[in-house]
Structure 1
Amino acid sequence: MKYITAVRLIFLNSSLKLNELITYFLLLSTLYILFIAFKKYYLPKILGRLGEYYVARTLKRLNKKDYVVYNNIYLRNNGNTSQIDHLVLSIYGIFVIETKNYKGWIFGNDRSKYWTQILYKKKYKIYNPVIQNWTHVNFLKRISFELKNSNYFPIIVFAGNAKLKKIVSSVPVIYKRKLIRTIKRNKEVHITHEQLAKIDRTIKQSLISGKVIKKEHIKNVKRNIKRKKAKRRGDSNICPKCGGKLVIKQGRYGWFQGCSNYPICKSTKNVK
């Protein structure tokens, strides 16, 4: 009888230990899944918001008389939407700023669809931020006549600890610490303060907000990507660099197609 009781106690203790091990295993598995989900879906958004916050704080140093600053805005025009990290309206032109917050080494060319991030000896593809920013510029041009004929200065800002390596781009790709210097490099006045106020009113009228806007914007982005792919397959007059229009021009060596966004975009194509 004592022997049977001892066996039962041993079996009971073993069952408790097994149950504890299963509980620990399930707990660790759940924590691991949550960590992967956080790292994949939430961490990039948090880092992106931090990068935008640092850049927004830097832009506060601009003179409010000559510069009007917008941060993380959504705009709507003719049923389409666009999200812009930072928009600076000024008497010197319009600065459209795309912010990135990455680590590691960054390699890129403004003609490539993807850039390369090297982190801990692993390579990752990131969408070309120059192309991404050109879509914002082209969107703004379609809002009004004043915005269409304004001078644009796209800028890509890396606000994290990334090291820029072998970046080939006609658009400034800079660190956050050089942002104010890059903006103030443009000293030629293009519009009056009255015109600046009118453009500012146009932007305010196009602003949208609310919880639903992000979902609407994502749907519009996916729809526009499909539309652009179909358009580029059938239209040879689309600039492969920025998505603008290629127009016929005459140069020293004859006729050629040049981008309508020249001189910022210097993409050319031979006329067949």
Structure 2
Amino acid sequence: MNADNNMMSGFYEGILIAIKMFIASSVFPFVVIFVILSIILQWKMPVLKGKYGEWVVKSKLRNLGDAYTVFHDVYIPNGERGLTQVDHIVTSVYGVFVIETKHYSGWIFGDEYKPYWTQVIYKKKTKMHNPIRQNYGHVQALLTYIGQEDMQDVHSIIAFSSNSTLKFKKDFTSAHVIQFPDLLTTISQYKEHFISEATVKGTNEKLAKLLVIDKNDRKRLKAEHMRSVRRAKGAKLTAHSYTRHAKNVSRQDDSILHTACPKCNGNLALKIGRYGKFYGCSHYPTCRYTENVKVDRQSV
């Protein structure tokens, strides 16, 4: 027994000596820095991927030519929620294109009319809000802001990263769901002049007023947008909670007889016994009063 204890003690002492030697070595600071940088990189990776994806999209949209005007990262006033953030807007006489970018990898499953889509990476499944519905809200906010609610030639585009694999079973009718390399082809397929140059000019002038160059102002707008999103989520949660509460009250109303127990003034609640359903007093077993469900009153 003592031999085993001495062996374990020597083992732990050896580990401690090795750790002390490693900390004292010149390599230790570099290892610590490497670990810290790795943690920071992993933490910032979604942001870095997003910025890279935006750079890719911007680079492609620059190649559209002089017939198109491109606006990036636009915060549009919204009377209901404050601000709506739109990734990219392209205007031309051929149409207005509202682009929502998704920097996702993995398999993407979804249906045009379902509220959620699914991202699958190996066996991990993650829900996302239906981007077609999301971009529909962006389109409506844009049309309201520019005062062109009746404009027909507005096209919704959902652009996913090339690292994704789109696994849709049906074609979409209200939006183009594509990958980044297909952006220019999707926009360029519209070749007829449907919008007047005066309308395009007026739209561009209004959108130009929303452009913010100062970084501090952009941070303020982003913070305001996030507050708008939180308010919208809070409103949905409140509505959901109210609906759930109403359903619970309804269920309670069905299970509680709105007549007090004539013996003790307790509540008569629906119960299930050996012979079926009946209303029993909440003060049972002190009070054994019951009422039959089918007959008005019966005491036991």
Same fold flag (TM > 0.5): yes
Task: Give the share of equivalent positions with the same residue, in percent.
Answer: 33
1:159 aligns to what? 161
Q: Which structure carries more relative contact order (alpha carbon 8 Å, separation 6+)?
A: 1
Between the aligned partners of 2:112 and 2:41, the Cα distance in structure 1 is 31
Larger displacement relative to structure 2 (109-118 or 224-233): 224-233
Q: Aligned ranges for residues 186-201 of structure 1 at < 5 Å?
A: 186-201=190-205
Between the aligned partners of 2:238 and 2:142, the Cα distance in structure 1 is 22
Contact 2:94 2:195 in 1 (8 A): yes
Instruction: Give the 3-state SS of the residue equivalent to 1:109 in structure 2.
Output: coil
How far off is 1:223 after superposition?
A: 0.9
Among 185, 194, 198, which residue is 2:189 paired with? 185
By percentage of residues, which structure has more strand?
A: 1
Q: Aligned ranges for residues 93-132 of structure 1 at < 5 Å?
A: 93-132=95-134
Between the aligned partners of 1:190 and 1:122, the Cα distance in structure 2 is 45
How far off is 1:95 after superposition?
A: 0.5
2:71 aligns to what? 70
How far off is 1:120 after superposition?
A: 2.4
Residues matched between the structures, number: 222
How far off is 1:163 after superposition?
A: 0.9
Instruction: Give the 3-state SS of the residue equivalent to 1:42 in structure 2.
Output: helix
How far off is 1:160 after superposition?
A: 2.8
Between the aligned partners of 2:130 and 2:37, the Cα distance in structure 1 is 29
Q: Name the CA shift for 1:142/1:14 in 2 (closer, same or farther; >3 Å).
A: closer
Q: Name the CA shift for 1:34/1:216 in 2 (closer, same or farther; >3 Å).
A: farther
Larger displacement relative to structure 2 (102-111 or 74-83): 74-83
Q: Name the CA shift for 1:93/1:14 in 2 (closer, same or farther; >3 Å).
A: closer
Between the aligned partners of 2:32 and 2:124, the Cα distance in structure 1 is 25
Between the aligned partners of 1:142 and 1:220, the Cα distance in structure 2 is 18
How far off is 1:225 after superposition?
A: 2.9
Contact 1:100 1:160 in 2 (8 A): no
Deviations 1:60-92 (A, max 9, x none): 121323x11112222335571122111001112
1:215 aligns to what? 223
Instruction: Give the 3-state SS of the residue equivalent to 1:116 in structure 2.
Output: strand
Contact 2:74 2:210 in 1 (8 A): no
Aligned: 1:58 with 2:60:
yes
Larger displacement relative to structure 2 (159-168 or 15-24): 15-24
Contact 1:106 1:163 in 2 (8 A): yes
Q: Aligned ranges for residues 1-272 of structure 1 at < 5 Å?
A: 16-17=17-18, 19=20, 35=38, 38-39=41-42, 41-65=43-67, 67-78=68-79, 80-146=82-148, 148-151=149-152, 152-168=154-170, 169-170=172-173, 171-208=175-212, 209-227=217-235
Q: Which runs of 5+ in 2 are unaligned?
A: 1-11, 243-300
Contact 2:77 2:141 in 1 (8 A): no
Which structure has the larger Rg?
A: 2
Between the aligned partners of 2:31 and 2:197, the Cα distance in structure 1 is 61
Contact 2:73 2:87 in 1 (8 A): yes
Instruction: Give the 3-state SS of the residue equivalent to 2:110 in structure 1.
Output: strand
RMSD: 3.5
Contact 2:162 2:181 in 1 (8 A): no
